[in-house]
Structure 1
Amino acid sequence: MPIQTLMTKGKAPVKIYTDEVEPAAMQQLYNLSQLPFIHSHIAVMPDVHMGKGATVGSVIPTKGAIIPAAVGVDIGCGMNAVRLSVNASHLPDNLRRIRSTIEAAIPVGFNMHKSDRARPTSIRALAVGLDRIIGKHRKIYSMQKKPYQTWIRQLGTLGGGNHFIELCLDENNDIWIMLHSGSRGIGNAIGQYFIELARRDMGRHLMNLPDKDLAYFSEGAEHFDDYIEAVEWAQEYAMTNRREMMRMILDSLRKQFPGFKVTKEAINCHHNYVSREYHFGEHVYVTRKGAIRAGEGELGIIPGSMGAKSFIVRGKGQPQSFCSCSHGAGRTMSRSAAKRKFTDMDVERQTAGVECRKDSGVIDEIPAAYKDIDTVMAHQSDLIEVVHTLKQVVCVKG
């Protein structure tokens, strides 16, 4: 579908690929549109919902400035998926053993590996850049316990919240491994640090913003280049984390499926990040807050909830969306609201047929707390085409 809603009362237009936007999210989008450095317009994906700092599902092109809170604290959060050379006929009748195998290999929540599990080459490559960042901003390290050990041992770990690892079947019954994670504790520390630094740097000018979470660094200002360096490092850390985690998962599953091969990597893509791109005649900074790049021919991953379908998609390079599409289904209610409304039995019923946790610890991730993924996909048919449809049979949550 084409753009469904157009907001024009701000300094820049807001073009929205759905007609279902909660009032709080509309207010956030209006606040964003008031900023003087928005380039052309703001594009909003059909999974839009209220976020912290900026609206989840928004694509924000800026000239000469970047908003750290729009990028967020899970810098570089995104997806990775691979297709295996085995199919549904190779699966055991009871999938609990597969879930247990993955859970034994990958720490979840706040946990980390008990020893350095990432490849030494990955650690060394990241260490050089981080040392340079910490040399200028030592407070980042003081925001974590045992920071050096933590960032290394969290490489190849899942985290909590909406992060997950899934074993899925596609339309041909081929098996896929799909995962969702980001830059873990070190990315969170970098994000929090620079969000607060942007507020301090703006000083009294912060009062002129419609929301203090929209504090920004201007190009040429004291800490602009430092933030660019730090956010690019965190994005690389997130990419490496997913790559290392996928390697560990595949190693563990070889006990279940001896001799399988990885036949296709769909993509390793960010959906909370900033990049330098060319749109509407100018080079700009594009912040995708809960959105993935969908340039012409580019592959991406759009997951549903833990009880719904997910999709491997190919971008159509739509200019009005800044070559973007949604990063998932999008929430319809907050985590606290979901916990108040639903029970363990609701989780069990809504995840029928999926081998996963069904206890009170995952109620906030219940499928009913998310938008209908088929509706979300229909609203962005102008932005992407579906290459594969995946249905999870095993889901590991933090």
Structure 2
Amino acid sequence: MKIKGDEIKALGFKGKSIGLALETLNAFDLDKEVEKVLAELKSVITNPVAYKEHLVFAALAEELLKPEEKEIPIREKPLPYRIYGADGIELGALKQMEVAMKLPVAKSGALMPDAHQGYGLPIGGVLATENAVIPYAVGVDIGCRMCMSIFELPTSLLEERKDNLRKILIENTRFGRATFDDPKDHEVLENPLFKELNVVRKLKDRAASQIGSSGGGNHFVEFGIAEITEVDNDWGLEPGQYLSLLSHSGSRGMGASIAAHYTKLAMEKCPLPREAKNLAWLDLSTEAGQEYWLAMNLAGDYASACHHQIHDRIAEALGTLPAAMVENHHNFAWKELDEKGKEVIVHRKGATPAGKGVLGVIPGSMSAPGFIVRGKGEVASVNSASHGAGRAMSRTVAKKTLQENAVARHLSDLGVEVIGSGLDEAPMAYKDIHQVMDCQQELVEVLGKFYPKIVRMCGDEQFKEVD
């Protein structure tokens, strides 16, 4: 018997009842003519009370008798918010930010100059809410972050010991599905939440196997030159150039699983109009909201532990400890005070915290410098700055339009070696970091720059020129 969802929909079924009706027909394998089955389904939807005790259709009748969920209305007009670098931001990201600012829980927001379209809140979007956390405004890779170690070693080692440094990167990093045969232990894995929260309990083994490794995509570990330009820096370093290590990665499979679970839960508990459904929130006064908050923070701590293990392994291989370390994260939510002293939940999806005096690293691309910054605490930006240069083209477009020869020549001309990666992460796929930084001069003070030289990403291939 072949009955399609459209036929069931035509009878008046909608939402979950469509799927349940199909499941019921499949489960009981009713041996009747299609017309008769459709007629009985019509009877069920017309008078579900009569089928509450029915052998076949009781569950379907129960679903139909549930009170219809009413959508939570959003504002007709968005709250005002500041846009930095509007000329370089695609229309899709602007529209997504406008929808976010229509949410009834929204209090303030801002759009960073590296912004581009994502799911729910745009990447580069900052949103402050009242007592509500939005899983998709945090992002899938919870607690994704930058971490930089600055060593008091001469930058000449990048040429003199290039082969050795390349070997150190390859031996002490893992990307994507690759993990270490002997992953190190870490105190984060002893967090009692791994026993107390059902959602993360089943994730511990995977987290333990992946610790110290990095994701695929745009995640990297790279040697380069940190150029400290300000005498008034936070580490007591003399202005000059130093051999440095920079990493970018997040909470691996654990963060993605937490995001998937609580996004689904939020959508069930918080029905929103279609254009806003990915911005469903969890009230922090509820058990679900508190669970997500704890799980999110655990994922952030785990992401930090991964970076620290990467830097510890490489520092050990170098035979020295870093003179300074800078770490900052995005894809997270923070409890902060607004300008009136009231607590708000600040979501930074692909945005860097830039409160007054807060340190961070804003990377460019594999061939463009990153910037070591100190936040100025600008209220209009919700104490935030960009988390990088931002994509200028999608991964699909980059793969279709960029030529490996051209990318290889570009990297060679700048003295940059890349291990792993693909055309979707080529420098040309990103915005001009200098233009992005120009758009946020009022948000951060630049303390120095980082120039990538040996870049390790997912995979083992290298960009090569083809004759």
TM-score (norm 1): 0.88
Distance in 2 (alpha carbons) for counterparts of 1:60 and 1:312: 24
CA deviation profile, 1:164-223 (whole Å, cap 9, x unmatched) = 111111332311111011100111111111111111222xx33x3523211111232341
1:28 is matched by which residue type in structure 2?
Answer: Q
The reply on whether 1:133 has 2:189 as its aligned counterpart is no
Check conservation: 1:164, 1:397, Cα contact below 8 A: yes
1:252 is matched by which residue type in structure 2?
Answer: A
Secondary structure of the residue that 2:371 maps to in structure 1? strand
The reply on whether 1:268 has 2:327 as its aligned counterpart is yes
2:338 is matched by which residue type in structure 1?
Answer: H
Check conservation: 2:150, 2:226, Cα contact below 8 A: no
Check conservation: 2:315, 2:321, Cα contact below 8 A: no
User: How far off its partner does 1:14 sit?
Assistant: 2.2
Q: Which residue in 2 is equivalent to 1:249? A: 314
The reply on whether 1:165 has 2:165 as its aligned counterpart is no
Check conservation: 2:146, 2:361, Cα contact below 8 A: yes
Q: Which residue in 1 is equivalent to 2:390? A: 330
CA deviation profile, 1:353-384 (whole Å, cap 9, x unmatched) = 112137xx511000111000000001000011
The reply on whether 1:280 has 2:348 as its aligned counterpart is no
1:168 is matched by which residue type in structure 2?
Answer: G
Q: Which residue in 2 is equivalent to 1:38? A: 106
User: How far off its partner does 1:348 sit?
Assistant: 0.7
Secondary structure of the residue that 1:351 maps to in structure 2? helix
The reply on whether 1:388 has 2:448 as its aligned counterpart is yes
The reply on whether 1:180 has 2:248 as its aligned counterpart is yes
User: How far off its partner does 1:151 sit?
Assistant: 0.5
Q: 1:225 aligns with which of 290, 296, 302?
A: 290
Q: Which is worse superposed, 87-96 or 299-308?
A: 87-96
Q: Which residue in 2 is equivalent to 1:17? A: 84
Secondary structure of the residue that 2:428 maps to in structure 1? helix
User: How far off its partner does 1:311 sit?
Assistant: 1.0
Rg larger in structure = 2
Distance in 2 (alpha carbons) for counterparts of 1:310 and 1:342: 23
What's the % identity of the aligned pairs?
34
Greater share of strand: 1
Unaligned segments of structure 1, at least 5 residues: 1-7, 142-146, 255-259
Distance in 1 (alpha carbons) for counterparts of 2:394 and 2:297: 29
User: How far off its partner does 1:103 sit?
Assistant: 1.5
1:196 is matched by which residue type in structure 2?
Answer: K
Q: Which has the higher contact order (CA 8 A, sep 6+)?
A: 1
User: How far off its partner does 1:323 sit?
Assistant: 1.2
Question: Mapping of 1:1-398 within 5 angstroms?
Answer: 10-19=77-86, 20-39=88-107, 41-93=108-160, 95-119=162-186, 121-124=187-190, 126=191, 128-134=192-198, 137=199, 141=202, 147-171=203-227, 172-202=240-270, 205-206=271-272, 208=273, 210-254=275-319, 260-265=320-325, 267-281=326-340, 282-352=342-412, 353-357=415-419, 361-398=421-458
2:267 is matched by which residue type in structure 1?
Answer: R
Q: Which residue in 1 is equivalent to 2:4? A: none
User: How far off its partner does 1:94 sit?
Assistant: 6.3
Q: 1:322 to 1:247 in 2, by over 3 A?
A: same
Q: Which is worse superposed, 367-376 or 44-53?
A: 44-53
Check conservation: 2:188, 2:301, Cα contact below 8 A: no
Check conservation: 1:305, 1:329, Cα contact below 8 A: yes
Distance in 2 (alpha carbons) for counterparts of 1:9 and 1:387: 43
Q: 1:81 to 1:9 in 2, by over 3 A?
A: farther
Length, aligned pairs only: 368
Q: Which residue in 2 is equivalent to 1:4? A: none
Check conservation: 1:167, 1:178, Cα contact below 8 A: yes
Distance in 2 (alpha carbons) for counterparts of 1:169 and 1:227: 39
Q: Which is worse superposed, 167-176 or 329-338?
A: 167-176
Q: 1:248 to 1:122 in 2, by over 3 A?
A: farther
1:160 is matched by which residue type in structure 2?
Answer: G
CA deviation profile, 1:123-152 (whole Å, cap 9, x unmatched) = 32x3x2222122xx37x73xxxxx433201
TM-score (norm 2): 0.75
Distance in 2 (alpha carbons) for counterparts of 1:348 and 1:297: 39
CA deviation profile, 1:62-119 (whole Å, cap 9, x unmatched) = 0021111111110000110011010112334462432232111111111112223134
Check conservation: 2:327, 2:359, Cα contact below 8 A: no
